[in-house]
Amino acid sequence: MPELPEVEVTCQGIRPHLQGQRVTEVVVRQPQLRWPIEPEILQMQGQTITGVRRRAKYLLLETDIGVLILHLGMSGSLRVLDPAPAPEKHDHLDLVLGSGAVLRLNDPRRFGAAIWWTHPLLEHPLLAKLGPEPLTSAFNADYLMSQLKGKKKAVKLALMDNQVVVGVGNIYANEALFSAGIDPRRPAGTLNRARVSQLVDEVKTVLARAIKQGGTTLKDFTQADGKPGYFAQQLLVYGRGGEACPLCQRILTEVKLGQRATVFCDRCQR
């Protein structure tokens, strides 16, 4: 599914087309997504989008009376279309803008979400208990040490816990742990401060690099045939189980941790 960099690139891509635009019509073709799209979403009609931002893997379209919370699920994508072609089978939601453009949600597997929320944003159950954003100063070595202290669970699983830090999904957990030289199976609480500090730095580096790469790969969010949820990435270990380690040439090991594919080098990662 799209991870934090893909969602951030989507956010950056659609923001210039949405911010400051009035929503003239909301068209719901298929309300049965991960959670049903409630009729209250029609309250967006006539409202101006005052902000477009990301929290974890959620996109937030803000208005004066509420926020539309969007999640791309496993297969969702957003496009800004002007003019908008006729909708296809998996085009479930349109926001028609005053400019004449349309923001369209396409989601073949329907695991995405479109939730209209009129209460304080941090009170929403999906957002209330989220950890800090990984690219902010709130995610630092002291903070992560406090979260990992005494934990016996594998460090990779702790890193993927959204209550610890948001948005470090499977791909980037694999990559950051490799770059930091840390065995993903290692009990989280056994890492000393120096190694935790290095891990924090590598998480920030791999995510920032992926966002930058996506920003250069996906320059246009206004064409109907693109897929803004995904972009080509240069990955060191993820998806490369059985291949040679890029550092020592030893064969990379692949195991399951928390039912997720985990690839690492048992020589370079300790």
Active-site residue (options: 15, 54, 55, 57)? 57
My answer on whether 114 and 153 are in the same domain is: no
Domain that holds residue 246: 141-264
My answer on whether 114 and 146 are in the same domain is: no
- Closest alpha carbon to 95 in 46, 59, 58, 54: 46
Residue 129 maps to a domain: no
- Please tell me the total count of domains within the chain: 2
My answer on whether 146 and 35 are in the same domain is: no
Q: Annotated catalytic, 22?
A: no
Residue 247 maps to a domain: yes
| Local structure of residue 168 (DSSP, 8 states) | -
Q: Which strands, in side-by-side order, build the sheet including 23-28?
A: 23-28, 91-97, 102-106, 77-81
Digit-by-digit pLDDT tens for the chain (270 residues) are: 678 988 998 999 899 999 999 999 999 999 999 999 999 999 999 999 999 999 999 999 999 999 999 999 988 889 999 999 999 999 999 999 999 999 999 999 999 999 999 999 999 999 999 999 999 999 999 999 999 999 999 999 999 999 999 999 999 999 999 999 999 999 999 999 999 999 999 999 999 999 888 865 655 565 544 454 455 677 999 999 999 999 999 999 999 999 999 999 999 999
| Domain's final residue, options 123, 153, 179 | 123
The confidence score (pLDDT) of residue 212 equals 87
* Ligand-binding site membership of 109 (annotated): yes
The confidence score (pLDDT) of residue 19 equals 97
The confidence score (pLDDT) of residue 231 equals 56
My answer on whether 28 and 109 are in the same domain is: yes
Q: Which residue has the tokens 């989601």?
A: 107
Active-site residue (options: 2, 5, 184, 228)? 2
Question: What CATH number does the domain containing 14 carry?
Answer: 3.20.190.10
My answer on whether 119 and 21 are in the same domain is: yes
The confidence score (pLDDT) of residue 129 equals 95
Residue 136 maps to a domain: no
Residue 270 maps to a domain: no
- Within the chain, strands assigned E span 23-28, 51-55, 58-62, 67-71, 77-81, 91-97, 102-106, 113-117, 253-257, 260-264
My answer on whether 158 and 233 are in the same domain is: yes
Tell me the C-alpha distance between 123 and 128, whole Å: 5
- Closest alpha carbon to 83 in 101, 108, 98, 65: 101
Question: Cα separations (Å) of 127 from 130, 151, 162, 240?
Answer: 6, 24, 10, 33
Q: Annotated catalytic, 254?
A: no
Active-site residue (options: 153, 240, 260, 267)? 260
Q: Annotated catalytic, 260?
A: yes
My answer on whether 165 and 56 are in the same domain is: no
My answer on whether 148 and 243 are in the same domain is: yes
> What is this structure's pTM?
0.91
Question: What CATH number does the domain containing 248 carry?
Answer: 1.10.8.50
Tell me the C-alpha distance between 196 and 262, whole Å: 19
Q: Annotated catalytic, 256?
A: no
Task: Compute, in degrees rounded to 10, the torsion defined by CA atoms 87, 54, 176, 234.
Answer: 40
My answer on whether 165 and 198 are in the same domain is: yes
| Domain's final residue, options 65, 95, 123 | 123
My answer on whether 90 and 145 are in the same domain is: no
Active-site residue (options: 3, 8, 175, 202)? 3
My answer on whether 84 and 19 are in the same domain is: yes
- Closest alpha carbon to 173 in 185, 160, 164: 160
